[in-house]
Amino acid sequence: MDKLVIEGGVALRGDVHVGTAKNSVLPILAATLLTSEPCRIVDAPRLRDVNTMLRILPALGVQCERDADGSITTRVVDESISEAPYELVKTMRASVCVLGPLIGRRRRARVSFPGGCVFGPRPIDLHLKGLRALGVELDIESGYIVAHAERLRGASMYLGGAFGPTVTGTANVLMAAVLAEGVTHIHMAACEPEVQDLANFLVAMGADVRGIGTPVLEIHGVDELHGATYRPVPDRIEAGTFLAAAAITGGDVTVRSCRPEHLRAVLERLEAAGCRLEIGEDWVRCARRGRIRAADITTLPYPGFPTDLQAQFMTLLTLADGVSVVTEKVYPERFMHVAELARMRARIRKEHHIAIVEGTEFLSGAPVLASDLRASAALVMAGLVAEGETEVRRVYHIDRGYEQIEVKLAALGARIRRTEDDEGV
């Protein structure tokens, strides 16, 4: 098992290119189950989660090949299989996205409940509610979702939950509905760029999806889908992470190959924290001089501030001049990083779904444990600016969503290296 060792104190400078959005690629790969024709996903990132999906799909009768340029070509060779086993699904929540296309194309599915990052319960009741509205019969057996439907009929449904729309739930119902009879309306649909990306891929395959990017999706069912070649959008979370890293180190970094329009809430909070921004068509430059300013952050469904950047921005605010309040309204228990940041001298008090961050003059390097994907990125950020050495263990979490993060950071001047963790934590 690896760990990242970081010597803090270097201001990051230079250009960095972000990769393709993991949270787009995963459901798009699942959607290739909806056709017997080949599909090609251009420039798919080499990430642990993508590799997991490339193990799940062959178990469902899909032949997958990765080209030297990173593109992935899929082709369904056996439609008799409908079970996604626990051994493959347990490590990644996004694997539940195979449920919708299996029902849509094969009319049956047996999918293990998903795993992934541990930061509180993330139920799939809205997924099941939407599928039932389409005429799917569902049961839970031995930890598996068992589903079948002789026919899928379009329906009108509301998929809002206690904490807003469901991203993967919207994706699952959307993928089932594209081959249903009649018209489906998904009210309170998730509007995230990754959901839009999935919908645009389905359109490229011949689906009839309207209202993309709005809270109401209208899906007119079609008889068949065909293959397609598609390039998913850039990863806005990776872009936001590098911008926050530039800010916390007092550096000057230009993040390229991104979509600034996907980062509006993030850019506004960076400016509130005292950063100077320049914004181009596909790039953002972030620089900071002087002390970080205190700034409150509230996570919300898109176009609000993304929950996947909450940990990184909380880390930024640990060095702010004053007190900041971070309110988590998407996953209220997503504060696993607080205890580890405290080991580095951060002053954070958690109250239910709110964290009160009192800025400190400096952070101190320490050995820390990554608990989930985004928390691990936050701890790396803390290590970049901390006095002394920081060891971030369990970096397999960060490998799920950041491709060679230590290489990209080193190119910006960071003193960071990957090494084997002798303690095997």
What would the DSSP string read from start to end of 28-88? HHHHGGG-SS-EEETT----HHHHHHHHHHHHTTEEEEE-TTS-EEEEE---S--EE-HHH
Residues 347 and 357 sit within 8 Å (Cβ to Cβ): yes
Task: Quote the tokens at residue 179.
Answer: 């081959």
Rounded CA gap, 179 and 189, in Å? 18
Give the pLDDT confidence of 39-82 residue by residue, as tens digits: 999 999 999 999 999 999 999 999 999 999 999 999 999 999 99
DSSP-derived pairing of the beta strands 283-287 and 208-210: unpaired
Q: Is 315 helix (H, G, I), strand (E, B) or coil?
A: helix
Task: Quote the tokens at residue 66.
Answer: 């990765």
Q: What are phi and psi of 358, to 5 degrees?
A: -100, 115
Q: Is the pLDDT of residue 207 over 80?
A: yes
| pLDDT number for residue 143 | 87
Q: Find, among 63, 61, 23, 59, the residue nearest to 40 by Cα.
A: 63
Q: Which amino acid is at 376?
A: S
Rounded CA gap, 9 and 320, in Å? 16
- Over residues 97-126, the mean pLDDT reads 81
Give the pLDDT confidence of 323-334 residue by residue, as tens digits: 999 999 999 889
| pLDDT number for residue 113 | 83
Rounded CA gap, 138 and 149, in Å? 9
Q: Find, among 50, 65, 41, 118, the residue nearest to 335 by Cα.
A: 118
If residue 187 lies in a helix (H) or strand (E), which one and from where to where?
strand 183-187
How deeply is 352 buried, as exposed, middle or buried, from its count of CB atoms within 10 A (0-12, 13-18, 19+)? exposed
**Percentage of residues in the chain with pLDDT exceeding 70?**
97
- Over residues 5-32, the mean pLDDT reads 98
What strands, in cross-sheet order, belong to the sheet with 72-76? 62-66, 72-76, 39-41, 229-230
Strand partners, 390: 6
| pLDDT number for residue 85 | 86
CA distances from 403 to 50, 66, 128, 195, 424 (A): 11, 16, 33, 22, 22
**Percentage of residues in the chain with pLDDT exceeding 90?**
90
Where do we find the tokens 């509205």? 133
Q: Is the pLDDT of residue 116 over 80?
A: no
Give the pLDDT confidence of 138-157 residue by residue, as tens digits: 999 988 999 999 999 999 99
Sign of CA dihedral 51, 52, 53, 58: positive
Buried b (16+ CB within 10 A) or exposed e, 353-385: bebebebeeebebbbbbbbbbbbbbbbbbbbbb
| pLDDT number for residue 94 | 83
- Over residues 220-232, the mean pLDDT reads 98
Q: Is 155 helix (H, G, I), strand (E, B) or coil?
A: coil
Q: Is the pLDDT of residue 118 over 70?
A: no
Domains in the chain, ordered, with CATH?
Answer: 2-19+234-420 (3.65.10.10), 22-230 (3.65.10.10)
| pLDDT number for residue 424 | 56
Q: How confident is the model at residue 122 (pLDDT cuts 50, 70, 90)?
A: low
Q: What is the 3-state secondary structure (H, E, C) of 227-278?
A: CCEECCCECHHHHHHHHHHHHHCCCEEEEECCCHHHHHHHHHHHHHCCCEEE
Q: Which amino acid is at 144?
A: Y
Task: Quote the tokens at residue 287.
Answer: 């620089």
Q: Find, among 122, 211, 219, 205, the residue nearest to 174 by Cα.
A: 219
If residue 51 lies in a helix (H) or strand (E), which one and from where to where?
helix 48-59
Cis amide bond preceding 367, omega within 30:
no
Where do we find the tokens 């400016």? 271
Residues 232 and 208 sit within 8 Å (Cβ to Cβ): no
Give the CA radius of gyration of the chain: 21
Q: Is the pLDDT of residue 120 over 50?
A: no
Q: How confident is the model at residue 134 (pLDDT cuts 50, 70, 90)?
A: very high
Residues 66 and 57 sit within 8 Å (Cβ to Cβ): no
| pLDDT number for residue 349 | 97
Q: Is the pLDDT of residue 119 over 50?
A: no
- Over residues 419-425, the mean pLDDT reads 76
Q: Is the pLDDT of residue 248 over 60?
A: yes
| pLDDT number for residue 115 | 57
- Over residues 225-249, the mean pLDDT reads 98
Give the pLDDT confidence of 350-393 residue by residue, as tens digits: 999 999 999 999 999 999 999 899 999 999 999 999 999 999 99
Q: Which residues are catalytic?
A: 117
DSSP-derived pairing of the beta strands 415-420 and 2-7: antiparallel
Q: How confident is the model at residue 121 (pLDDT cuts 50, 70, 90)?
A: very low
What strands, in cross-sheet order, belong to the sheet with 156-158? 156-158, 183-187, 216-220, 208-210
Rounded CA gap, 57 and 66, in Å? 13
Q: How confident is the model at residue 215 (pLDDT cuts 50, 70, 90)?
A: very high
Give the pLDDT confidence of 339-352 residue by residue, as tens digits: 999 999 999 999 99
